[in-house]
Structure 1
Amino acid sequence: MKLYADTPIRRSRQVLGDLWLLAWTAFSIWLATKVYDVTMALAVPGHKIESAATTMGEKLRDAGTSADNVPMIGDKLAKPFGGAGGAADAIADAGRSQAEAVHTFAWWLAVAVAIVPIVMMGSMYLPLRLRFLRRASTHVRLRNTEAGIDLLALRAIATQPLNVLSAISDDPAGDWRDRNTPVIRSLAAVELRDCGLRPSTALE
C-alpha cells in the first residue's frame, strides 16, 4: 500500500493533512471532555439535595424511633416523624434523578461535540486520501512491468489534457497502437507524475 506520494511537495501536503486531521480529532475530543466537565457542574445541586435529604430522612426516622419509646403516646409522636422521613426520601430521589439526568445529558452532549466535527472533517479529507491510496497502490504495481507501463500509457491518453499529450507526440494514440516504446514510456511517466509518483528506473 502506498501511503504517500514520491514527489516532495505533494508528500508534504499529505503529511500535513494527516497531521491536521489528527490534531483536529485530538482537539475535538479535548473540547468534548471540557464540555462534559462544565455540564456535569449542573449535577452538583442535585447531589447536594440528595445528600442533605438523605441525612435529614435518617435523622427524622431516628427521632421517630426515639419518640416511639415514649410510654402511652409513643405511636402518635412517632407517626409525624415517619411521614417527614418519607418526604425527605422523596426529595432525595428527586435530587438523584436530577443528577442522573444531567449526567446523561452531559454524556450525549460531549459525544456530539466530539463526533460532529470529526465526521465533518473526515468526510471531506478521507475520501481524497483513500482515492490516492487506491490509485497510487495500483500505479506502483503497474510501473514495474511492461504490461503495466502499457496500461499507464493508455490511461494517460484517456485522461491527460490534450496539451500534455501533444507535447509528447503529435499522435499519441497512434504511437500507442504502433507500440512506439519511447512515446509509451513518456505517457506512462506523465500518468505516474500526475499521481505524485516517480517513474520506474526504466522510464527515467
Structure 2
Amino acid sequence: MRFYAERPGRMAVQLLSDLAAITWLAAFAWLAGQARSAVLELGAPGHRMVEAGGGLRSTFADAASTASGVPFVGDDLAGALQRGGSSGDVLVDAGARVLEAVDLAATSAAVVIVALALVPVLAVWLPRRIRYARAAGQAVAMRAQGPDLLALRALAELPPRRLARIGTEPAAAWRAGDAEVIAQLAELRLASLGLRVS
C-alpha cells in the first residue's frame, strides 16, 4: 500500500486532509474533556453531602462520648446519640451515590462527543484513504511490470470523459495492442492517483 502520492499537488491535498482529520479529532477530544469537567462540577452537592454527613457523624460520636460520662443516664444518652450518628452515614451514602451518578454522566457525555467526532472520520476519511492506499500500491506494482495492466485498469475505472481525451475508441485500441494508446492510458491511470510514470 502507498499512502501518499508522488506528485506534490496531490500529496499536499492528502497531507492537508490528514491534518484536518487529526485536528478534528483533537478538537473533539478537547471538547469531550471540557464537557466532562463541566458535568463533574455538578457533583459539588454530593461532595457537600459527604462532608456534612462525615461532620454529623463525628459530632454525634463526640457528643456520645461526652454524654457517657453523665451520671445515671450517661449510657442511655450516649446510645441515643450514637444512633443519631447513623443519619450522618445516610448523608455520606447519598452523597456518594450522587457523585457516582455525576461521574457516570460526565464519562457518558465525553464518550458521546468522541463517538460523534469519529463518525465522519470512520465513514468518510478513513475509507477514502484506505482505498487510495490500495489503488496506489497496486498501480506502483503494475508500473514496474509495464503499461498493459495500468491501461486495462484505466479502462475499467476511469470515467468515459477522461478516457475520451485519448481517442474515441481507447478500448478498441488497447485490444489491438496500440502501444501509444496503451502508454497514454497507463499514464492517465497513474496521473489519476498522483503517481509519476516512472
Amino acid at match of 1:154: L
CA distance in 1, matches of 2:184, 2:9: 22
SS in 2 for 1:70: coil
> What is the TM-score of this pair, normalised by structure 1?
0.89
CA distance in 2, matches of 1:60, 1:163: 88
Q: Return closer, same or farther for 1:162/1:22 CA change in 2, 3 Å cut-off.
A: closer
CA distance in 1, matches of 2:129, 2:75: 79
Deviations 1:22-76 (A, max 9, x none): 0011101111111111111111121121012112211201211221232211122
Consecutive unaligned residues of structure 1, counting only runs of 5 or more, are none
Deviations 1:154-190 (A, max 9, x none): 1222333445434434543333233222221111111
Q: Is the 8 A contact 2:52 2:91 kept in 1?
A: no
Consecutive unaligned residues of structure 2, counting only runs of 5 or more, are none
SS in 2 for 1:5: coil
Specify which of 148, 151, 175 is matched with residue 149 of structure 2: 151
- How many residues in Structure 1 have an aligned counterpart in Structure 2? 198
SS in 2 for 1:168: coil
CA distance in 2, matches of 1:163, 1:108: 50
CA distance in 2, matches of 1:41, 1:170: 69
SS in 2 for 1:32: helix
- What residue number does 1:17 align with? 17
- What residue number does 2:158 align with? 160
- What residue number does 1:189 align with? 187
Amino acid at match of 2:130: L
Counterparts of 1:52-201 in structure 2, within 5 Å, are 52-146=52-146, 149-200=147-198
Q: Which fold has the larger relative contact order, with Cα–Cα distance below 8 Å and residues 6 or more apart in sequence?
A: 2
Q: Return closer, same or farther for 1:26/1:166 CA change in 2, 3 Å cut-off.
A: closer
CA distance in 2, matches of 1:180, 1:190: 15
Amino acid at match of 1:101: A
Report whether the alignment pairs 1:3 with 2:3: yes
CA distance in 1, matches of 2:91, 2:151: 79
Q: Is the 8 A contact 2:151 2:182 kept in 1?
A: yes
Q: Is the 8 A contact 1:28 1:118 kept in 2?
A: no
Deviations 1:131-174 (A, max 9, x none): 1011011001111112xx21111122233344543443454333
- What residue number does 1:40 align with? 40
